[in-house]
Structure 1
Amino acid sequence: MEKILIVDDEKEIRDLIEIYLKSEGYEIFKSENGLEALEILNREEIDLVILDVMMPKLDGIQTCIKIREKSELPVIMLSAKSEDIDKIFGLNMGADDYISKPFNALELIARVKSHLRKYNRYKNMSSCTESMKLENEIIIDDLVIKLDLHQVYKGDELIKLTPTEFEIITLLAKNKGKVFSIANIYESVWKQEYLESDNTVMVHIRKIREKVEEDSRKPRFIKTVWGVGYKIDK
């Protein structure tokens, strides 16, 4: 049974999300602040975190940073604020997704399932033996994407990507030369309908570039096709 940690200082929100997710068969852990959440993460094998932005003691942004220091498990941020700057900041700190309050129960469940599917693939591939995965590789100059291992190397350096970042770069690398619009990428990776105002993909592209490019302002690998989208054409 997959374990989900709900972190929100509002008891009503924690209890409501618990009802939604327990009906889907998940084991639920709850916390009212970031410090307590980190303690739970230290003792439990949590598969996904739903994390509120505004909390006492340790807010969601700082909690997300702490989680990313040790784990690549999916983090979905919650916030009553709707401004883009809050979303961009949360994603920049390592969150995989972002949902504004009030949220739709079906949308929340769908996003949880989508991120758990990706994370489970990531865990399964990462546990493969070296001999099982020397074959499935995409090589672009000095960038090597090991599909079976869910790993990316630049030269001899292992680049630490989140499961979502890995899915994006793999999508582009498998289709070298093809231009993907932001909507194409979002719907392919998140398995959700793209909303015109959503800039999640752009934030993730920027984070990938910061990790794999020597100069993220002059990318060698992930190219911008202005007015259209992104591609890898090496």
Structure 2
Amino acid sequence: MITESEHSVLVIDDDAAIREMISDYLKLQGYGILEAENAAAARTLLAQQKPSVVLLDISMPGEDGLSLARYIREHLDIGIIIISAAGEAVDRIVGLEIGADDYLAKPFDPRELLARVRSVARRYEKLPVTTPNTGAEPSQRVRVGRCTLDLLSQQLFGPGDEELALTQMEFELLQILIDRPNRVLSRDQILNLTQNRDWDPNDRSIDIRIARLRRKIESDPERPRCIRTVRGSGYMFIPTTE
């Protein structure tokens, strides 16, 4: 049975020196630490415990980090930060496409790592559960393209009311857009609102998540009507009208 720790980090890296450096630093910041040298060891740990964030190296012997990230995202609602060598831009992009929350290039400043861990962990903190006075479950649904988003349960439903997979980062991005209808948001504004950091011109994380959302909510993702691109400026959410 999985036990959950709200303040623990699983460090997955085949380099023992890197694991030790990350673990020692995060322990000083008050985090509980789990370590795994490969994907197999990580799967064993994840079957028993549920950390708040996983720090995942891409290049490992055996099953690589991208395959493991896909498995984690399909089975667990926890934060994933991809760690990759500076030249592995393609792998970082793929990592974001399969549901990682953030990435960090080696070598990195431990203070930046801590900031990323804190930011991702906050997005997965459990909200207090309130008991409604009526027998009906609380709901606050809004139309987004061909879908419906329940803002309270953070669930996305398709045209046939089937639930569609939605990561925490995707929900936050969609909510930010919904809260600011018919308003152009730059990539820098979006990153500040979702991750409290500035946009780098080489950072494609927002574009990747917008593309993933479009594939879910747009009738024609190639000709989006709900989340529109404003060239040279950013993105704008257009509310669905009946």
Whether TM-score is above 0.5 comes out as yes
Query: Structure 1: how far apart are the matches of 2:104 and 2:12?
Result: 14
Amino acid corresponding to residue 103 of structure 2 in structure 1:
Y
Look up the match of 1:148.
Answer: 152
Report deviation, 1:43: 0.7
Amino acid corresponding to residue 162 of structure 1 in structure 2:
T
Amino acid corresponding to residue 230 of structure 1 in structure 2:
Y
Report deviation, 1:97: 0.7
Look up the match of 2:226.
Answer: 221
Look up the match of 1:67.
Answer: 72
1:124 aligns with 2:152: no
Amino-acid identity (%):
34
Q: Is the 8 A contact 1:159 1:212 kept in 2?
A: no
TM-score, length basis structure 2: 0.89
Amino acid corresponding to residue 105 of structure 1 in structure 2:
P
Q: 2:194 aligns with which of 189, 192, 195?
A: 189
Look up the match of 2:3.
Answer: none
Q: Is the 8 A contact 1:81 1:101 kept in 2?
A: yes
Look up the match of 1:3.
Answer: 8
Query: Structure 1: how far apart are the matches of 2:220 and 2:29?
Result: 44
Runs of 4+ in 1 over 4 A off after TM superposition: 127-132
1:38 aligns with 2:57: no
Look up the match of 2:184.
Answer: 179
Q: 2:33 aligns with which of 18, 28, 32?
A: 28
Q: Is the 8 A contact 1:35 1:63 kept in 2?
A: no
Q: Over alpha carbons, which structure has the higher Rg?
A: 2
Report deviation, 1:193: 2.2
Report deviation, 1:73: 1.1
Q: 1:111 aligns with which of 112, 116, 120?
A: 116
Q: 2:56 aligns with which of 44, 51, 54?
A: 51
Query: Structure 1: how far apart are the matches of 2:17 and 2:131?
Result: 45
Report deviation, 1:188: 0.8
Report deviation, 1:6: 0.2
Report deviation, 1:132: 5.9
Report deviation, 1:133: 2.7
Gaps of 5+ in 1: none
Report deviation, 1:129: 5.8
Amino acid corresponding to residue 185 of structure 1 in structure 2:
I
Query: Structure 2: how far apart are the matches of 1:94 and 1:68?
Result: 6
